[in-house]
């Protein structure tokens, strides 16, 4: 039976994974197609109006037309975010990163979020904002990954199958990571990059098993090729073939056959490193500016009326429109379209029918005379993917001034846009900005001539520039390298890309963190880093643990449980019993005086340190008790009285208090297990308790399935109806607790604790001494860099 269950579960997970990959690709396909149509509609209408106005001198009308298009689109996007689901703002990668790191972010995997994000990004991109659609696609993939394996929807009640296989946070996280990987795979056509993305972001909370990695790769492959299939069908009209490798493709990096050129040579690495340094600096500035902006937004805009955020988005939209329209008019230069044939273009000798048709049609005439194009408009007035390809593969179209001004405007505008209340990806703007930056190196005559670079394929510099800028802003390494390699489909460019990314990251890391991490930090999410600071080696578990325990007894009165749940927000509680009084009286300080009770090498200094620590703990506790609200402390002391009035040997009667008081923390408490908040609420909901005056205490047993029925939205204690609850009953939590979770010894060094916590994806780690007594609890908060540094500082004030 167990075997059949396992087989069924495995089949279901493969099916789920296929569906996740497929749906993610379909959403990406939908987003792409709709954006394509909306943009085409907009550009065609405005261009037609320009053609009319050229002669009637009414360019203002065209601008107004463009602005009204853009503002209408941006308005829809902003409304969806502000009034629909605020979590849909931004790229979504920080949210997914937090989720995969083990932090529960409310609503992050809801259907409503998906809708607002996917529809919102349609309009924010179509509205001409300098945002990408890749980040939102990754988030969408994550939502689908979290949703599909549940086989039910909480938003749409009727959609429900009874397949309760993956109802745990751990399973769900695995599928969310697979979905996010599928999103990456669809967005960049990068199946391997997708897997590595979920490895780099989801990291240790990633399912370790090999099977799961295979499943993940299958998911990204499904996603990539589903999208490829539909794109090939609709764009190339060749259903069944796979000719469109992804939404963001960089074109073919290939030397024209007649020329003896290389993609790069060894000496170019020096220039690539220079580009990387520059990209790192730009990224650093970008992040610094955006940090200020985000702090400003959190301070002023988040608190005022929602309409302010909508207006902000509209303002940015208007600004972008004006810049995108006026710069071509004033700064852009009209150049004959034949230019692209005269200069030694990279693609000039390839079969000329297709590529040049494309590149010509993507050269924007704007207000230039027929047969000419406006170089600034080609960059600003096109969709961003086309502009990227222009920068990568065509040489000589743009003047140095055009590129420079484009870079500056684009840099500032995209920096302004990221973080406003619209769905906004970061990848494409960064790539475009970086590609323009990379072209400086390429068209700067002094550099080119100095190194005699005519034998180098020029697109390489744009690509490296894009990598440098992107690396400087987001600071990812492995997954970004692989994604970019897969986008270029050229393994021989992998070394330059990697070197540039690493250099950019190192340079940028001097001043600040990656933009995603900054946004996570500003939202004060306790993200677990990859490693603890090496200075933490001097600390042990006892130094960082949380000693203000909230615990339950194996047999607790319902009233206490309700009070405990109401007055705390903890997600998990240790189940403990008090030590017998004869031991208690003998060793008040036993809980801190941990090991080698009779050992020879406990020095006096150590004992003194322990005593001092206990004393400070005592003071802290006093403060805490003083601050706690009346009801609970009254309850607590009442219970304490009750407990001490009874005999000590009967656990059922001696353990009715669930609230930790001052005294309890100093008494040694024997650890029995951990119980989750959700289990306690489910027990309350199902009236699992017994009457203490019954002869043989017995309570109902409920099944594991019953416990997970409500996943992921368990009943909240504050919404619960206590009318039919007998508060004097006693609950036996022992059958439902986890009797042997991972624990650590108080003397374990912090790096070891961190490893265990992070690698095993834990949420609570009890600190148990060698007598089996619980001394404290380590949660994610105790392992963040900030907390550890604080502890270190408090111990060594001079440090």
For residues 689-708, which are near a second copy according to CB under 8 A?
697
Options 271-279, 307-315, 559-567, 647-655: segment touching a second copy (CB under 8 A): 647-655
Using alpha carbons, select from 363, 21, 392 the residue that is nearest to residue 217: 21
Q: How far is the CB of 535 from a second copy (least distance, A)?
A: 6
Q: Which of 128, 191, 317, 661 binds a second copy (CB under 8 A)?
A: 191
Q: Which stretch binds a second copy (CB under 8 A): 57-65, 86-94, 255-263, 660-668?
A: 255-263
Sites for a second copy among residues 718-757 (CB under 8 A):
732, 734-735, 739-740, 742-745, 747-749, 752, 755-756
Of 345-374, which residues contact a second copy (CB under 8 A)? Answer: 351
Please select the residue that binds a second copy; options are 604, 649, 713, 718, rule is CB under 8 A: 649
Q: Nearest distance from residue 739's CB to a second copy, in Å?
A: 6
Out of 361, 452, 598, 603, the only residue in the binding site for a second copy (CB under 8 A) is 598
Q: Is residue 599 involved in binding a second copy (CB under 8 A)?
A: yes
What six digits make up the tokens of 171?
């399973």
**Comparison of 310 and 541: residue with beta carbon closer to a second copy:** 541
Q: Which is nearer to a second copy, 206 or 373 (by Cβ)?
A: 206
Q: Which CB sits closer to a second copy, 395 or 654?
A: 654
Q: Six-digit token pair at 53?
A: 């106005």
Binding a second copy by CB under 8 A: which of 44, 153, 155, 243? Answer: 243
| CB 26 within 8 Å of CB 142 | no
Residue partners of 272: CB distance under 8 A and separation at least 6: 264, 464, 496, 499, 500
Angle value at C-alpha 574, between 569 and 578, nearest 5 degrees: 125
Tell me if 490 sits within 8 A of 263, measured CB to CB. Answer: yes
- Least distance to a second copy, CB of residue 471, Å: 12
- Is residue 536 within 8 A of residue 787, CB to CB? The reply is no
Q: What whole-number distance in Å separates Cα of residue 71 and Cα of residue 75? A: 6
What spatial distance separates the first Cα and last Cα of the chain, rounded to whole Å? Answer: 60
Residue labelled with tokens 């408490």: 669
Which lies closer to a second copy via its Cβ, residue 535 or residue 727? 535
Question: Which residue among 44, 153, 155, 241 contacts a second copy (CB under 8 A)?
Answer: 241
Count of chain residues binding a second copy (CB under 8 A): 97
Q: Residue from 772, 781, 786, 790 that binds a second copy (CB under 8 A)?
A: 772
Q: How far is CA 455 from the centre of its chain?
A: 42
Site for a second copy in 558-597 (CB under 8 A): 577, 595-596
Q: Strand pairing partners for 676? A: 572
Closest approach of Cβ 373 to a second copy, in Å? 28
Q: Which is nearer to a second copy, 156 or 701 (CB)?
A: 701
User: Is the peptide bond prior to 712 cis by the omega test (within 30 degrees of 0)?
Assistant: yes
Q: What are phi and psi of 561, to 5 degrees?
A: -60, -45
Does 607 help bind a second copy (rule: CB under 8 A)? no
491 belongs to the binding site for a second copy (CB under 8 A): yes
Question: To the nearest whole angstrom, how small is the minimum distance from the Cβ of residue 362 to a second copy?
Answer: 22
Q: Is 485 in the site for a second copy (CB under 8 A)?
A: yes
Q: How far apart are CA 41 and CA 122, in angstroms?
A: 14
- For 244, the token pair is 């469109």
- Min dist CB 158 to a second copy, Å, is 34
Nearer to a second copy, 130 or 542 (CB): 542
* Binding residue (CB under 8 A) for a second copy from 672, 679, 764, 780: 672
Stretch that binds a second copy, among 68-76, 365-373, 656-664, 665-673 (CB under 8 A): 665-673
Q: How far is the CB of 374 from a second copy (least distance, A)?
A: 33
Structure-block tokens of residue 163: 């397949």
Q: How far is CA 94 from CA 98, 185, 421, 514, in A?
A: 6, 18, 15, 11
Report the C-alpha gap between 795 and 789 in whole angstroms: 10
Q: Tell me the per-residue interface mask from 261 to 300 with a second copy, x by CB under 8 A, - otherwise.
A: -xxxxxx---------------------------------
Question: What is the smallest separation between the CB atom of 485 and a second copy, expressed in angstroms?
Answer: 7
Angle among Cα 14, 18, 22 to the nearest 5 degrees reads 170
How big is the chain, counted in residues? 799
- Window 516-545: contact mask with a second copy (x via CB under 8 A): --------------xx--xx-x--------
Question: Per CB under 8 A, does 6 bind a second copy?
Answer: yes
One of 490, 517, 640, 710 touching a second copy (CB under 8 A): 490
Residue among 491 and 569 whose Cβ is closer to a second copy: 491
What is the 8-class DSSP label of residue 715? P
Q: Could you give the CA distance from residue 473 to residue 484 in angstroms, rounded to a whole number?
A: 15
Task: Look at the alpha carbons of 790, 511, 516, 18 in this order and tell me if their dihedral is positive or negative.
Answer: negative
Binding mask 77-106 for a second copy (x = CB under 8 A): ------------------------------
CB of 155 to a second copy, least distance (A): 33
Burial class (CB in 10 A: 0-12, 13-18, 19+), 5: exposed
Q: Is position 194 an interface residue for a second copy (rule: CB under 8 A)?
A: no
Considering Cα of 671, then 676, then 679, then 680, what sign does the dihedral take?
Answer: positive
Helix (H) or strand (E) holding 75: helix 59-79
* Shortest Å distance, C-beta 207 to a second copy: 11
Question: What is the C-alpha to C-alpha distance for residues 97 and 177, in angstroms, rounded to an integer?
Answer: 9
Rg (CA), the chain: 31
Q: Should residue 19 be labelled a site residue for a second copy when binding is judged by CB under 8 A?
A: no
Candidate residues 80, 498, 507, 549; the one interacting with a second copy per rule CB under 8 A: 498
> What character string, x for contact with a second copy (CB under 8 A) and - otherwise, covers 201-240?
--xx---xxxx-xx--xx--x--xx--xx--------x-x
Cα gap 636→662, rounded to integer Å: 10
Residue nearer to a second copy on the CB measure, 77 or 248: 248
Nearer to a second copy by Cβ, of 351 and 370: the residue is 351
Indicate whether 481 belongs to the interface with a second copy (CB under 8 A): yes
Stretch that binds a second copy, among 26-34, 561-569, 659-667, 766-774 (CB under 8 A): 766-774
User: x-or-dash pattern for a second copy, window 123-162, by CB under 8 A?
Assistant: ----------------------------------------
Q: Please pick, from the candidates 68, 342, 444, 492, the single residue that binds a second copy as defined by CB under 8 A.
A: 492
Distance CA 371, CA 746 (A): 78
Instruction: Write down the residue that tokens 């972008």 correspond to.
Output: 320
* Angstrom distance (rounded) from CA 169 to CA 146: 10
Cα 356 from Cα 763, distance rounded (Å): 57
Q: Which is nearer to a second copy, 133 or 555 (CB)?
A: 555
Q: What does the per-residue mask of binding to a second copy show for 502-521, with x meaning CB under 8 A?
A: x-------------------
Whether residue 463 contacts residue 493, with contact meaning beta carbons closer than 8 Å, is answered with: yes
| Residues 428, 469 contacting (CB under 8 angstroms) | no
Smaller CB separation from a second copy, 158 or 599: 599
d(CA 700, CA 688): 6
Alpha helix segments (H runs only) across 381-531: 384-393, 400-417, 427-443, 445-450, 459-474, 478-488, 494-511, 515-522
Q: Least CB distance from residue 24 to a second copy, whole Å? A: 15
Contact 193, 185 (CB under 8 A): yes
Shortest separation between residue 758's beta carbon and a second copy, angstroms: 8
Separation of alpha carbons 243 and 196, rounded Å: 24
């Amino acid at each position: 039976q167990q075997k059949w269950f396992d087989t069924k579960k495995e089949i279901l997970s493969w099916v789920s994974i296929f569906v996740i990959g497929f749906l993610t690709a379909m959403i990406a396909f939908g987003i792409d197609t709709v954006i394509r149509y909306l943009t085409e509609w907009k550009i065609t209408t405005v261009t037609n109006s320009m053609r009319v106005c050229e002669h009637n001198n009414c360019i203002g009308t065209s601008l107004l037309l463009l602005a009204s298009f853009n503002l209408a689109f941006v308005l829809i996007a902003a409304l969806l975010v502000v009034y629909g689901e605020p979590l849909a703002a931004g790229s979504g990668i920080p949210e997914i990163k937090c989720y995969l790191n083990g932090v529960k972010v409310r609503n992050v995997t809801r259907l409503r979020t998906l809708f607002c994000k996917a529809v919102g990004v349609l309009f924010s991109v179509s509205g001409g904002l300098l945002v990408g659609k890749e980040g939102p696609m990754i988030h969408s993939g994550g939502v689908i990954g979290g949703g599909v394996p549940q086989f039910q929807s909480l938003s749409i009640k009727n959609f429900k199958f009874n397949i309760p296989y993956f109802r745990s946070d751990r399973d769900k996280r695995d599928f969310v990571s697979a979905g996010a990987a599928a999103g990456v795979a669809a967005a960049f056509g990068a199946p391997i990059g997708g897997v590595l993305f979920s490895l780099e972001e989801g990291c240790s909370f990633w399912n370790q098993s090999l099977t799961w990695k295979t499943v993940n790769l299958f998911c990204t492959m499904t996603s990539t090729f589903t999208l490829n299939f539909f794109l090939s069908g609709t764009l190339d009209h060749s259903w069944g073939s796979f000719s469109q490798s992804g939404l963001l493709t960089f074109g073919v990096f290939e030397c024209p056959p007649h020329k003896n050129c290389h993609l790069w040579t060894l000496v170019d690495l020096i220039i690539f490193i220079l580009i990387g340094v520059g990209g790192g600096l730009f990224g650093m500035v970008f992040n610094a500016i955006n940090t200020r902006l985000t702090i400003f937004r959190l301070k002023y805009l988040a608190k005022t009326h929602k309409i302010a955020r909508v207006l902000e988005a509209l303002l940015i939209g208007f600004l972008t429109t004006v810049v995108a329209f006026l710069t071509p008019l004033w700064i852009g230069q009209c150049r004959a379209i034949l230019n692209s044939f005269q200069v030694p273009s990279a693609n000039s000798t390839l079969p000329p029918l297709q590529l040049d048709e494309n590149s010509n049609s993507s050269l924007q005439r704007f207000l230039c005379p027929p047969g000419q194009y406006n170089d600034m408009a080609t960059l600003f007035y096109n969709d961003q993917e086309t502009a990227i390809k222009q920068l990568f593969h065509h040489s000589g179209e743009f003047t140095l001034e055009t590129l420079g001004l484009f870079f500056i405007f684009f840099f500032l505008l995209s920096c302004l846009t990221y973080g406003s209340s619209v769905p906004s990806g970061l990848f494409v703007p960064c790539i475009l900005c970086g590609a323009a930056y990379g072209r400086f190196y390429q068209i700067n005559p002094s550099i080119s001539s100095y190194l005699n670079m005519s034998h180098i394929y020029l697109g390489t510099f744009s690509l490296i520039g894009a990598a440098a800028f992107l690396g400087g802003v987001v600071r990812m390494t492995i997954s970004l390298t692989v994604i970019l390699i897969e986008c270029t489909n050229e393994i021989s460019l992998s070394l330059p890309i990697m070197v540039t990314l690493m250099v950019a990251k190192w340079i940028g890391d001097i001043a600040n963190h990656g933009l995603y991490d900054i946004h996570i930090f500003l939202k004060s999410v306790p993200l677990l880093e990859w490693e603890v600071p090496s200075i933490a080696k001097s600390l042990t578990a006892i130094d960082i643990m949380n000693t203000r325990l909230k615990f339950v007894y194996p047999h607790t009165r319902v009233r206490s449980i309700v009070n405990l749940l109401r007055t705390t927000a903890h997600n998990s509680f240790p189940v403990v019993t008090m030590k017998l009084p004869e031991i208690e009286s003998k060793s008040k300080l036993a809980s801190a005086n941990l090991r080698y009770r009779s050992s020879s090498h406990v020095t006096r200094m150590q004992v003194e340190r322990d005593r001092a620590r206990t004393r400070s703990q005592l003071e802290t506790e006093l403060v805490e008790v003083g601050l706690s609200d009346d009801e609970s402390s009254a309850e607590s002391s009442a219970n304490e009285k009750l407990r001490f009035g009874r005999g000590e040997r009967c656990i059922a009667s001696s353990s009715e208090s669930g609230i930790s008081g001052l005294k309890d923390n100093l008494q040694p408490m024997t650890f029995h297990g951990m119980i989750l908040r959700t289990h306690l609420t489910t027990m309350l909901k199902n009236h699992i308790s017994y009457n203490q005056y019954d002869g043989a205490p017995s309570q109902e047993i409920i099944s594991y399935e019953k416990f997970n029925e409500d996943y992921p939205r368990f009943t909240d204690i504050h919404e619960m109806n206590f009318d039919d609850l007998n508060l004097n009953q006693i609950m036996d939590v022992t059958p439902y607790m986890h009797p042997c979770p991972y624990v650590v010894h108080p003397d374990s060094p912090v790096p070891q604790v961190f490893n265990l916590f992070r690698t095993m994806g834990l949420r609570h780690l009890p600190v148990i001494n060698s007598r089996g007594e619980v001394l404290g609890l380590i949660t994610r908060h105790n392992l963040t860099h900030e907390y550890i540094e604080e502890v270190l500082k408090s111990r060594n004030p001079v440090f």
